[in-house]
Amino acid sequence: MSPEQLLGSVDFPEDDVVVADFEAGVGTLTRLGEEHVDTVVIVVEATPKSLEVGARAAALASERTVARIVVVANRIRHDEDLETVKAAFPGMEVVGVPHDPKIVEADRKGVAPIDLDPNGPAVLALIGLASTLIPTSN
């Protein structure tokens, strides 16, 4: 099954959460039907190429029935980086994630960033984002 077929499958349990790490680029989004996802998280860096892919993803997500679109401004080194991303996505929700060498270290070691440095700035920013994505279960 392709990712988009799977996400459209009728027997997906309603209370479960699926977090789908899509292929690089916007290919899967172009093939995605209506109501296959509830939330699209667009990860960008403050570089022209990354913002361009992000803008296409935002346009495609906006054409679909998506309850929420969140832009993650990743590897923020200066305030200007965050401003650059916000300017590229006017009126949209943008969450900044700071540059954090521990993420690179986790990649190098082949371990989970949330295990290597659970209180690092990047991990904490992403935990903060995650906690806004679904209503609390209790």
Partner 1 sequence: MKLAVVGKGGSGKTTTSSVIARTLARSGRAVVALDCDSNPNLGISLGVGDEETERLVSMRQALDEGEEEHANNWDTLISRYGSDGPDGVRLAVVSRIDNPEPG
| Encoded tokens for 109 | 């070691």
What is the binding site for partner 1 (CB under 8 A)?
1-3, 6-7, 9, 11-13, 15-26, 28-29, 32, 36-45, 49-50, 53-54, 57, 61, 72, 74-75, 97, 103, 106-107, 110-115, 122-123, 126-127, 129-131, 133-134, 136-138
Nearer to partner 1, 18 or 87 (CB): 18
DSSP 3-16: HHHHHT-TT--TT-
Nearest one of 66, 91, 71 to 81, comparing CA atoms: 71
H or E, element range at 128: helix 121-133
- Specify whether the CB–CB gap between 73 and 95 falls below 8 A: yes
Nearer to partner 1, 83 or 98 (CB): 98
| Encoded tokens for 10 | 């009728």
What is the closest distance, in whole angstroms, from the C-beta atom of residue 15 to partner 1 in the complex? 7
Nearer to partner 1, 79 or 136 (CB): 136
